[in-house]
Amino acid sequence: MTPADPVAYREGVIRTIPRFWLVLDIVGSAIGLLLTLPLTYVFEAGTMSRWIPDGPVSILLVLLVAVIQWGAAAISRLSPVLALIVAWFGALLQMACGFSPGAYNLAILAVVFATSAWGSMRLLWIGGASALGGGLIAGGYMSLINEEALIQDTETGLRVALVAVLLGTVSVLTLVMAWGAGLLWRVVLHGRRTRDAQVRAEAVAVAEQERVRIARDMHDVVAHSLAVVIAQSDGARYAAAADPAQATAALTTIGQTARAALSDVRLLLAQLRHSEGQGPQPTLADLETLYTQVRAAGIEPRVTVDPMPPGEPPAGIQLAVYRILQEALTNAIRHGAGDVDVWLGWHADHVQITVRNAVPPTPRQAHMERGHGLIGMRERAQLVGGTLSAEHEAVGFVVRAVLPIGPAAD
């Protein structure tokens, strides 16, 4: 909620509102005063007060009451509590002078509206009580000052009571309707703020999901590439003395892997800077390149695909399969011992992935469980509605995944 929010509710006396709304309220109240004051004089066209003789004093007092009440309307958005106090003062002054209700009393409706529309919860109910009590007082006051004009038969006091009830009911309904309109506007503003907050929360959630996705992609790319580079550099260091040609081949593989990783990293950074498409993503056609990189790191992936894909799998499934295999093979390079068995089973409604590799005599399970790789693989599977498990077994470390194939997965 910004400080300039024109609908913010405050417990303080003065609210912070944009200057535009303050100027609009002042100008509107001035126009209301100029329109209603002449109408008051026209419709009265006789005795202005029951207790003050007609003359300059009576006219000035009517003008003062009108200015006070419209002044309260002018500050009703800026300070609903002050506006209510000023409006009550103007109404009591009007009754003390014995003035009949006039057109300028419409300003009170604006004040009652403001108490429920922009006031605090406490002022909301104070405004409602003021509408109810003020309407009853106004009804009794009008019946009192018009008793002689309306009641000619002095023997029937019941008629005076009935007139008071009628006028009080009309006054209460009028003020309560103004208060209810403000309450309705308050509900509308609350709904608008709730929708805005929901939109902001959804935007934050989308941004967080994108951040997690990019972090996962960055880990997949960098971890795999660095694993290959480290394996090749270690092999080149040991082979340099015995076979310089093999060292040169290893350096060539290192350069190719680093360039590919740099290209992927630049693509991810571009996604961070721009909100454009995700760009090209790995597919099943890139698996052979992945296997070649693993072979270059000194590990032979024994790949079995049975059954074969019945058609073109959805792009999301292809990406998930690639990333899961990439991370599993990267873990085999970093933590495994010996070659890796990869099995892919493409069925009509799902694909099964199994990656098995031997482990050293002392497994590094605790280290692997703390890493981001296994978490990333599970997230990959969950994003497409699948499941993934990774655990040590008698035959070594085994990663198993089942990914559904269908419109929902795509």
3-class secondary-structure state, position 345: strand
pLDDT value at residue 372: 63
Strand partners, 366: none
pLDDT band at residue 354, thresholds of 50, 70 and 90?
Answer: very high
Q: Among the listed ranges 168-172, 201-205, 213-217, which one has the minimum average pLDDT value?
A: 213-217
Residue 128 pLDDT > 80: yes
Residue 186 pLDDT > 80: yes
Strand partners, 219: none
| Phi, then psi, of 248 in degrees rounded to 5 | -65, -40
**Beta strand 301-305 pairing with 350-357:** unpaired
Q: What is the pLDDT of residues 287-312, one digit of tens each?
A: 998 898 888 878 889 999 988 887 78
Distance CA 107, CA 125 (A): 19
Cβ atoms of residues 178 and 113 within 8 Å: yes
Beta-strand (E) ranges in 226-348?
A: 301-305, 340-346
Distance CA 230, CA 236 (A): 10
Mean pLDDT of 260-287: 64
What would the two tokens of residue 168 be? 């009080």
pLDDT band at residue 253, thresholds of 50, 70 and 90?
Answer: confident
246 or 381, higher pLDDT: 381
Mean pLDDT of 303-323: 86
Residue 5 pLDDT > 50: no
Mean pLDDT of 154-164: 62
In order of 142, 156, 163, the CA distances from 152 in angstroms are 16, 9, 13
pLDDT value at residue 265: 65
Query: What value does the CA radius of gyration of the chain take, rounded to a whole number of Å?
Result: 41
pLDDT value at residue 276: 43
Distance CA 348, CA 194 (A): 45
Cβ atoms of residues 336 and 358 within 8 Å: yes
Q: What is the pLDDT of residues 68-121, one digit of tens each?
A: 999 999 999 999 999 999 999 999 998 888 888 888 899 999 999 999 999 888
Its pTM stands at 0.52
pLDDT band at residue 64, thresholds of 50, 70 and 90?
Answer: very high
Domains in the chain, start-ordered, CATH in brackets? 19-201 (no CATH), 299-410 (3.30.565.10)
235 or 347, higher pLDDT: 347
Q: Which residues contact 142 (CB under 8 A, 6 or more apart)?
A: 100, 101, 167, 171
pLDDT value at residue 281: 75
The DSSP code for 410 is -
When the pLDDT of each residue in the chain is averaged and rounded to a whole number, the result is: 79
pLDDT value at residue 212: 74
pLDDT value at residue 266: 60
In order of 10, 66, 78, 120, 386, the CA distances from 117 in angstroms are 12, 23, 12, 9, 51
